[in-house]
Amino acid sequence: MPKVLRFLWAVHLLVIGLIAASRSGSTSIESESKENNRPNILFILVDDLGWGDVGFQRQKFTGDRSNIPNEIQTPNLDRLALQEGMILERHYVHSTCTGTRVSLQSGRLPVHVQTSLKYPEDPASGMPRNMVGMAEHLQEAGYHTHYVGKWDVGMATSKHTPRGRGYDSSLHYFEHKNDFWNQSCMQSTCCDPDEHGFDLVDLWDTDRPAFNLNGTNYEEFIFMDRMKEIIQNHSSHHGSDDNEPLFLFYAPHIAHCPLQVPKDYLDKFDFMEDDDAECQAQTGYIYPPDEDALPPKFSCRKQYHAMVNLLDDLVGSLVHEFKAQGLWDNTLLVFTSDNGGPTIMEESGSTNFDLRGGKYSDWEGGVRAVAFVSGGYLKPHRQGVRIAEMLHITDWYATLVALAGVTDLQERVRQTEDATQNFPPLDALNIWPYLAGEEDHSSRTEIPLSYHSLLQENYKLIWADEVGQAGWTGPIYPNASSTRSDMFWSVNCSEGCLFDVAKDRGEHVNLASQEPLRVQAMKHRLQELREGFFENNDTGIDLCPDDIDIPCACWMAVNYYGGFLGPYQQDTNDESP
């Protein structure tokens, strides 16, 4: 135990030292960017929100609001996206949470950092230690940086936590999901009853377990309280001082499973019909904590849309707080889902109408995220504009850093990242000139989505023997007439399938036989790109005693953090402890 303590203390000092060093080196950037009008940034990265689950998407398809099902109630998002913002029609992400989140924080495409879903007790889960996080640049440039919500970018060392990645403060959980009501661990071998079975909590406050917060409220309300405190505190200390803007990152748990929502929100959706039996079979982990509050017949779509409506209220409150504190006029809001809605009924109640497939697939329903930008920082002539061309979530890394006035990003990253690591170079591109209307086209023209698929401008190649989840979710899904077989069938793309996803976003027409040369060229290019694919395999040194027979993360949670998940390895690359 003293050994462990000593290491943690050393780690703590190192982090403090790094933060101090980066702060003191910041003067040149700050003075360089004095003339720039640097925005406050509110980044909202939603979990598992389906393409068709918000009003503005439905209105966009039909031209009016009359075809929006009553269950979709997102007035704040609709206003921010349609009237005050720009809808990003082709904003690509990874098909699952971790890849998207790591890609954004690291400035790499998922295929250049992490595509797999690992549990956080695996040290290679998330971003390798020596990659530089997006917020580190913003912090150096004078931003006050705060993280609230789901992290899922790694946990092994303190370098892996938001604090180690450039956030001044954080209130977050580490895993793919936890329990909305008591923040208990839900997706780790440490708490899985069939594995190690510990009753653990997953909620962390900057550099320690969030001891006094777990179990005090519905998770999003705990997050909201913290965000209000951050916004008010920022405003009273810095006002709207351009030299010290605010970067607030909110990664809500909504609309990821478990489908848990306060009863007053659920009651608002009483008018909805219950959905199918397959969905009801999963009431085991879809529940409000009060047994009496269980709807007589369970409906996951009802829970889901109540959650999305709650998210809409939360975004409304956040914007209200920015306005009340005089920050909104100079704030840029970025809103995006981390992947498409899951079509597996056990997991969700989302619909990706009118796209094909969903989460876990490379169909547009899995990787084309519902997304928009908004906020007072947008020039009036950009409000209501549709952004038609391709963007990738990793591009925000370079874009936000450019807006912060940093001009030598590539150089900084090269210098900071140890050259012996052989990390792929930054992929992030500054897309602001395109979004601001200064350039006609997106600088993002190519995205290798995975080992099997490649996007090049309007075209997508999918090249695999069996491409699953090939169905289309209906306008109301899941519904009484939808079955597993509607979604879960496969297409044989062993010769390569080709879609024009700009004209045919639903991927109905395979163009491969009409355009054999394009298929050939894209296959060739994908093969070439595969040579450079990279998957984080960074592993540090456990802080645990040698003679334990459980993963170090579980041991540390039980023996060191009082029942909370937290870092469990040294954060230096030093081989000798």
Ligand X SMILES: *[C@@H]1O[C@H](CO)[C@@H](O)[C@H](O)[C@H]1NC(C)=O
* Region of 32-40, 159-167, 230-238, 322-330 interacting with ligand X (CB under 6 A): 230-238
Select 85 or 365, whichever has its Cβ closest to ligand X: 365
C-alpha to C-alpha distance for 501 and 364, rounded to whole angstroms: 8
C-alpha to C-alpha distance for 185 and 563, rounded to whole angstroms: 10
Q: How far is the CB of 304 from ligand X (least distance, A)?
A: 15
Our measurement of the distance from residue 248's CA atom to the centroid of its chain's CA atoms, rounded to an integer in Å, reads 14
* Region of 83-91, 214-222, 252-260, 431-439 interacting with ligand X (CB under 6 A): 214-222
**H or E element, residue 543:** none
Q: Which of 537, 546, 547, 576 is the binder for ligand X (CB under 6 A)?
A: 537
Select 289 or 437, whichever has its Cβ closest to ligand X: 289
Non-local (6+) Cβ contacts of 216 within 8 A are 222
Query: Is residue 214 involved in binding ligand X (CB under 6 A)?
Result: yes
Q: Which of 215, 239, 516, 532 is the binder for ligand X (CB under 6 A)?
A: 215
C-alpha to C-alpha distance for 106 and 100, rounded to whole angstroms: 10
In Å, the largest CA–CA distance within the chain is 69
Select 265 or 533, whichever has its Cβ closest to ligand X: 533
Please give the sequence-ordered ranges of beta strands (E in DSSP) within 339-458, or none if there are none: 368-369, 371-374, 386-392, 446-450, 453-456
N residues, the chain: 577
Query: Is residue 482 involved in binding ligand X (CB under 6 A)?
Result: yes
Query: Is residue 241 involved in binding ligand X (CB under 6 A)?
Result: no
Alpha helices in 260-299 (DSSP H): 263-268, 277-280
- Residue whose C-alpha is closest to residue 9's, from 564, 576, 575, 560: 560
Q: How far is the CB of 376 from ligand X (least distance, A)?
A: 22
Select 90 or 301, whichever has its Cβ closest to ligand X: 301
Restricting to residues 69-108, name those near ligand X by CB under 6 A. none
Query: Is residue 479 involved in binding ligand X (CB under 6 A)?
Result: yes
Ramachandran region, residue 405 (left: φ > 0; alpha: ψ -120 to 50; beta: rest): left
Q: How far is the CB of 564 from ligand X (least distance, A)?
A: 7
Our measurement of the distance from residue 88's CA atom to the centroid of its chain's CA atoms, rounded to an integer in Å, reads 16
Query: Is residue 465 involved in binding ligand X (CB under 6 A)?
Result: yes
* Region of 1-9, 91-99, 213-221, 375-383 interacting with ligand X (CB under 6 A): 213-221
Restricting to residues 247-306, name those near ligand X by CB under 6 A. 289
C-alpha to C-alpha distance for 565 and 153, rounded to whole angstroms: 14
Tokens for 555, please give them.
Answer: 């041991």
Contact 498, 556 (CB under 8 A): no
Q: Residue 166: is it exposed, middle or buried by C-beta count within 10 angstroms (0-12/13-18/19+)?
A: buried
Select 184 or 458, whichever has its Cβ closest to ligand X: 184
* Region of 54-62, 113-121, 469-477, 497-505 interacting with ligand X (CB under 6 A): 469-477
* Region of 115-123, 379-387, 444-452, 480-488 interacting with ligand X (CB under 6 A): 480-488
Q: Which of 267, 408, 418, 495 is the binder for ligand X (CB under 6 A)?
A: 495
Q: How far is the CB of 532 from ligand X (least distance, A)?
A: 10
Q: Which of 36, 416, 481, 514 is the binder for ligand X (CB under 6 A)?
A: 481
Query: Is residue 199 involved in binding ligand X (CB under 6 A)?
Result: yes
Our measurement of the distance from residue 43's CA atom to the centroid of its chain's CA atoms, rounded to an integer in Å, reads 10
C-alpha to C-alpha distance for 520 and 511, rounded to whole angstroms: 12
Please give the sequence-ordered ranges of beta strands (E in DSSP) within 217-329, or none if there are none: 246-251
- Taken in order 398, 401, 403, 406, is the CA torsion positive or negative? negative
Q: Which of 26, 130, 184, 317 is the binder for ligand X (CB under 6 A)?
A: 184
C-beta nearest to ligand X: residue:
215
Query: Is residue 175 involved in binding ligand X (CB under 6 A)?
Result: no
Query: Is residue 155 involved in binding ligand X (CB under 6 A)?
Result: no
Q: How far is the CB of 156 from ligand X (least distance, A)?
A: 14
Q: How far is the CB of 395 from ligand X (least distance, A)?
A: 24
Backbone angles phi, psi at 41, to 5 degrees: -125, 130
Tokens for 491, please give them.
Answer: 């297409």
Q: How far is the CB of 192 from ligand X (least distance, A)?
A: 13
Q: Which of 97, 222, 447, 476 is the binder for ligand X (CB under 6 A)?
A: 476
Q: Which of 178, 430, 473, 570 is the binder for ligand X (CB under 6 A)?
A: 473
Angle in degrees, CA 404, 408, 411, rounded to 5 = 135
Where along the sequence are the contacts to ligand X (CB under 6 A)?
Answer: 179, 182, 184, 199, 201, 214-216, 229-230, 233, 237, 289, 465-466, 473-477, 479, 481-482, 486, 492, 494-495, 534, 537, 562-563
